[in-house]
Amino acid sequence: MYSPEELENIAVVPLAFPLTCGAGTITVVILIASQAAGLIENLLVIVAVLIALFASYLGMKYSGRILRFIGEQELRIITKFLAIFVLAIAIQFIINGIAEAMPQILAEIPCGIFP
Protein backbone atom coordinates (compact mmCIF):
# COMPACT_ATOMS: atom_id res chain seq x y z
CA MET A 1 0.00 0.00 0.00
CA TYR A 2 1.02 3.67 -0.27
CA SER A 3 2.68 5.64 2.49
CA PRO A 4 1.05 8.91 3.65
CA GLU A 5 3.76 10.90 1.85
CA GLU A 6 3.03 9.15 -1.46
CA LEU A 7 -0.71 9.74 -1.09
CA GLU A 8 -0.10 13.40 -0.35
CA ASN A 9 2.00 13.77 -3.51
CA ILE A 10 -0.70 12.10 -5.60
CA ALA A 11 -3.38 14.45 -4.27
CA VAL A 12 -1.46 17.72 -4.33
CA VAL A 13 0.56 17.73 -7.53
CA PRO A 14 -1.92 16.64 -10.22
CA LEU A 15 -4.99 18.33 -8.74
CA ALA A 16 -4.19 21.42 -6.69
CA PHE A 17 -1.53 23.08 -8.83
CA PRO A 18 -3.28 22.94 -12.24
CA LEU A 19 -6.52 24.16 -10.68
CA THR A 20 -4.97 27.07 -8.78
CA CYS A 21 -2.28 28.20 -11.21
CA GLY A 22 -2.95 26.32 -14.42
CA ALA A 23 -3.55 27.51 -17.94
CA GLY A 24 -7.10 28.65 -17.24
CA THR A 25 -6.06 30.79 -14.30
CA ILE A 26 -3.18 32.34 -16.20
CA THR A 27 -5.44 33.04 -19.19
CA VAL A 28 -8.04 34.78 -17.03
CA VAL A 29 -5.39 36.96 -15.37
CA ILE A 30 -3.88 37.89 -18.76
CA LEU A 31 -7.29 38.75 -20.21
CA ILE A 32 -8.30 40.85 -17.22
CA ALA A 33 -4.90 42.57 -17.10
CA SER A 34 -5.13 43.35 -20.82
CA GLN A 35 -8.40 45.19 -20.19
CA ALA A 36 -6.88 47.22 -17.36
CA ALA A 37 -6.15 50.80 -18.36
CA GLY A 38 -3.58 52.61 -16.30
CA LEU A 39 -1.49 51.94 -13.25
CA ILE A 40 -4.34 51.91 -10.73
CA GLU A 41 -6.31 49.23 -12.59
CA ASN A 42 -3.17 47.13 -13.03
CA LEU A 43 -2.50 47.42 -9.30
CA LEU A 44 -6.10 46.35 -8.64
CA VAL A 45 -5.53 43.25 -10.78
CA ILE A 46 -2.42 42.42 -8.75
CA VAL A 47 -4.30 42.97 -5.47
CA ALA A 48 -7.14 40.73 -6.72
CA VAL A 49 -4.63 37.98 -7.57
CA LEU A 50 -3.06 38.27 -4.11
CA ILE A 51 -6.48 38.12 -2.43
CA ALA A 52 -7.37 35.04 -4.48
CA LEU A 53 -4.02 33.47 -3.58
CA PHE A 54 -4.62 34.12 0.12
CA ALA A 55 -8.18 32.77 -0.10
CA SER A 56 -6.86 29.62 -1.82
CA TYR A 57 -4.27 29.20 0.92
CA LEU A 58 -6.89 29.52 3.64
CA GLY A 59 -9.21 27.15 1.81
CA MET A 60 -6.51 24.51 1.50
CA LYS A 61 -5.22 24.97 5.04
CA TYR A 62 -8.66 24.71 6.65
CA SER A 63 -10.30 22.39 4.11
CA GLY A 64 -11.15 19.77 6.73
CA ARG A 65 -12.94 22.28 8.93
CA ILE A 66 -14.68 23.86 5.97
CA LEU A 67 -15.94 20.48 4.75
CA ARG A 68 -17.25 19.58 8.22
CA PHE A 69 -18.99 22.97 8.46
CA ILE A 70 -20.48 22.97 4.96
CA GLY A 71 -21.23 19.28 4.49
CA GLU A 72 -20.74 17.09 1.44
CA GLN A 73 -24.10 17.77 -0.22
CA GLU A 74 -23.68 21.53 0.10
CA LEU A 75 -20.14 21.25 -1.26
CA ARG A 76 -21.51 19.56 -4.39
CA ILE A 77 -24.02 22.40 -4.80
CA ILE A 78 -21.30 25.04 -4.39
CA THR A 79 -19.08 23.22 -6.91
CA LYS A 80 -21.87 23.16 -9.52
CA PHE A 81 -22.66 26.84 -8.88
CA LEU A 82 -19.00 27.80 -9.33
CA ALA A 83 -18.84 25.78 -12.56
CA ILE A 84 -21.78 27.81 -13.89
CA PHE A 85 -20.05 31.01 -12.75
CA VAL A 86 -16.82 30.08 -14.57
CA LEU A 87 -18.86 29.16 -17.66
CA ALA A 88 -20.52 32.59 -17.56
CA ILE A 89 -17.10 34.27 -17.41
CA ALA A 90 -15.91 32.17 -20.37
CA ILE A 91 -18.98 33.07 -22.41
CA GLN A 92 -18.45 36.75 -21.63
CA PHE A 93 -14.86 36.53 -22.87
CA ILE A 94 -16.11 34.88 -26.08
CA ILE A 95 -18.71 37.62 -26.55
CA ASN A 96 -16.07 40.31 -25.98
CA GLY A 97 -13.75 38.66 -28.51
CA ILE A 98 -16.47 38.36 -31.15
CA ALA A 99 -17.62 41.95 -30.57
CA GLU A 100 -14.05 43.18 -31.00
CA ALA A 101 -13.39 41.08 -34.12
CA MET A 102 -16.68 41.67 -35.97
CA PRO A 103 -15.94 45.20 -37.24
CA GLN A 104 -12.70 43.98 -38.82
CA ILE A 105 -14.40 40.93 -40.34
CA LEU A 106 -17.32 42.95 -41.69
CA ALA A 107 -14.99 45.60 -43.11
CA GLU A 108 -13.31 42.98 -45.32
CA ILE A 109 -16.58 41.80 -46.92
CA PRO A 110 -17.08 43.39 -50.34
CA CYS A 111 -20.20 45.55 -50.57
CA GLY A 112 -21.31 44.14 -53.94
CA ILE A 113 -22.05 40.60 -52.71
CA PHE A 114 -25.76 41.11 -52.25
CA PRO A 115 -27.91 42.47 -55.14
Is residue 57 domain-shared with residue 79, that is, in the same domain? no
pLDDT for 90 equals: 81
Do 96 and 88 touch, CB atoms closer than 8 A?
A: no
Let me know: does 45 contact 53? Beta carbons within 8 Å.
no
The whole-number pLDDT of residue 15 equals: 53
Alpha-carbon distance of 43 to 83, in angstroms, equals 27
SS3 category, 99? helix
pLDDT at 113: 59
Instruction: Tell me, yes or no, whether 74 and 99 share the same domain.
Output: yes
In tens, the pLDDT along 41-59 reads: 999 999 998 998 899 889 8
Tell me: do 23 and 51 sit in the same domain. Answer: yes
pLDDT of residue 16: 54
User: 91 and 115: one domain?
Assistant: yes
Same domain, 91 and 45: no
Show the domain range for 103: 70-115
Q: How many domains does the chain have?
A: 2
State which residues of the chain have pLDDT below 70: 1-19, 111-115
Q: Check whether residue 25 and residue 43 sit in a common domain.
A: yes
Q: Return the SS3 of 71.
A: coil
3-state SS class at 113? coil
77 and 111 together in one domain: yes
Q: Within this chain, do residues 39 and 89 fall inside the same structural domain, yes or no?
A: no
Select from 61, 78, 107 the last residue of a domain: 61
Q: How far apart are CA 75 and CA 85, in angstroms?
A: 15
Nearest-10 Cα torsion for 32, 38, 42, 48: -80
> Do 38 and 92 belong together in one domain?
no
**pTM of the entire structure?**
0.56
